Amino acid sequence: MKITNAKVIVTCPGRNFVTLKIETDDGLTGIGDATLNGRELAVVSYLRDHVVPCLIGRDAHRIEDIWQYLYRGCYWRRGPVTMTAVAAVDTALWDIKAKAASMPLYQLLGGRSRDRVLVYGHANGRDIEETSDEVGRYVEMGYKAIRAQTGIPGLSATYGVSSDKMYYEPANGTVPEENVWDTPKYLRHVPQLFDTLRKRYGFDVHLLHDAHHRPTPQEAASLGKSLEEYRLFWLEDVTPAENQEAFRLVRQHTTTPLAVGEVFNSIWDCNQLIQNQLIDYVRATVVHAGGITHLRRIADYASLYQVRLGSHGATDLSPVCMGAALHLDIWLPNFGIQEYMRHTEETDTVFPHAYSFSDGYLHPGDAPGHGVEIDETLAAKYPYKPAYLPINRLEDGTMWNW
């Protein structure tokens, strides 16, 4: 089965998405997500200018060989732009192979290891009271796991908090907005949030929290310690992981479960974290970590050390990524949880999909392939709009982590 064409489709139904569609001489087509938040057009060029011309005429069934060809063959290995482009090709090829087999993708991976995929939603509020009410809304919708983020007194804007609740979109400014950050204020406030939530909702609902790479390792250790009694499902991105060894300090001081890795693009970003058991969950994704082929490799490696997969699933990961991720999740023996931030109605109409939510779980559906399509006519009605995540500065103006 030869690849005859590959198109890069850019659309902005409320936010930007990049999708690669591969066509074959059998008439089968497959799609892969290629969205890299705030750097979308870099991946578009990488694919259009450098990858697509090399794909034409290749055997679409040779997924592994094409992966190696794009990874080793470009000489410049790894990096978010490269690995997102590789992921798009890989995901589209798995979609095609599963359609050729007339099977849902999870069957090709080894079949289901579970009946459904546990997901967590996002509850955000300007203050503890509002966040606490939001958690209640998620409990009512059936969620078994909820991430809680709250505004911090003294800081005008906080990550994860906005007036749009169900569909909040962190990327907005045509140039990045500038926020002010202060870690000591944050460290004092967060334990009060979880104290309130546990008093109101008890310990049966899973609670999660994202520190979004702001604390230093020492601050991260202190945060983990101060949250221990609230028994979080996980504490996410508690410090940047560029230096994987930094997590040793955090780990030595707290039993709060740790998750990190939404920005990882390769197994080399987490090999020490995994091998030294410095984390409990790795947050790498299909779209940013080289597709199903490479994420499966990371997850298999993690299973040797009892580290589980808890993939990133914010709105900038398109329904195509979500569909593919759910097939991996339902198969993967060491699956932990899947993040699920709902896409808007507009986005869901551009990307019709077989996956569905019920009672706090997602199911990938049983359509052949990964079960997600793109309505190209509708997609063409939403042209690309520049949009960036905000940045953070400390109160004295020092550039910090967002």
Q: State yes or no: residue 210 binds Co ion (CB under 5 A).
A: yes
Q: Pick what 323 binds: Co ion, ligand EZ4, none; C-beta below 5 to 8 Å, kind-dependent.
A: none
Sheet containing strand 391-394, strands side by side: 178-181, 391-394, 399-400
Nearer of residues 162 and 334 to ligand EZ4, judged by Cβ = 162
Spatial CA neighbour of 318 closest among 294, 337, 296, 344: 344
* Cα distance between residue 152 and residue 42, in whole Å: 35
Residue nearest to Co ion (CB): 210
Choosing from 33, 40, 262, 373, the residue that interacts with ligand EZ4 (CB under 6 A) is 262
Q: State yes or no: residue 336 binds ligand EZ4 (CB under 6 A).
A: no
Q: Pick what 319 binds: ligand EZ4, Co ion, none; C-beta below 5 to 8 Å, kind-dependent.
A: none
Sorted by sequence, the CB contacts under 8 Å of residue 123 that are 6+ apart come out as: 131, 134, 135, 137, 138, 146, 147, 148, 149
Nearer of residues 71 and 159 to Co ion, judged by Cβ = 159
What are the respective helix, strand and coil percentages of the chain, to the nearest 5? 35, 20, 45
Nearer of residues 96 and 259 to Co ion, judged by Cβ = 259
Choosing from 316, 340, 354, 387, the residue that interacts with ligand EZ4 (CB under 6 A) is 316
Q: How far is CA 11 from the centre of its chain?
A: 19
Report 240-269 residues binding Co ion (CB under 5 A). 262
Q: Pick what 37 binds: Co ion, ligand EZ4, none; C-beta below 5 to 8 Å, kind-dependent.
A: ligand EZ4
Q: State yes or no: residue 90 binds Co ion (CB under 5 A).
A: no
Nearer of residues 101 and 399 to ligand EZ4, judged by Cβ = 399
* Cα distance between residue 73 and residue 65, in whole Å: 11
Question: Least distance (Å) from ligand EZ4 to the CB of residue 290?
Answer: 17
Question: Least distance (Å) from ligand EZ4 to the CB of residue 270?
Answer: 16
Residue corresponding to tokens 């590789």: 86
Q: Pick what 219 binds: ligand EZ4, Co ion, none; C-beta below 5 to 8 Å, kind-dependent.
A: none
Q: Which stretch binds ligand EZ4 (CB under 6 A): 52-60, 134-142, 252-260, 308-316?
A: 308-316
Helix (H) or strand (E) holding 158: none
Count of residues interacting with ligand EZ4 (CB under 6 A): 9
Determine the angle formed by the axes of helices 319-331 and 291-303, rounding to 10 degrees.
40
Spatial CA neighbour of 287 closest among 10, 75, 89: 89
Nearer of residues 54 and 389 to Co ion, judged by Cβ = 389
Q: State yes or no: residue 339 binds Co ion (CB under 5 A).
A: no
Nearer of residues 135 and 367 to ligand EZ4, judged by Cβ = 135
AA letter at 264: F
* Cα distance between residue 354 and residue 326, in whole Å: 11
**DSSP per residue, 240-305:** --SSTTHHHHHHHH--S-EEE-TT--SGGGTHHHHHTT--SEE---TTTTTHHHHHHHHHHHHHTT
Question: Least distance (Å) from ligand EZ4 to the CB of residue 212?
Answer: 6
Cite the active site residues.
159, 212
Nearer of residues 210 and 280 to ligand EZ4, judged by Cβ = 210
Q: Pick what 90 binds: ligand EZ4, Co ion, none; C-beta below 5 to 8 Å, kind-dependent.
A: none
**In the stretch 182-211, what mask flags binding to ligand EZ4 with x, by CB under 6 A?**
----------------------------x-
> What is the sign, positive or negative, of the torsion defined by CA atoms of 319, 322, 324, 326?
negative
Q: State yes or no: residue 104 binds ligand EZ4 (CB under 6 A).
A: no
**DSSP per residue, 58-84:** SBTT-HHHHHHHHHHTTSS---HHHHH
Q: State yes or no: residue 258 binds ligand EZ4 (CB under 6 A).
A: no
Residues that bind ligand EZ4 (CB under 6 A): 37, 170, 210, 212, 262, 312, 314, 316, 339
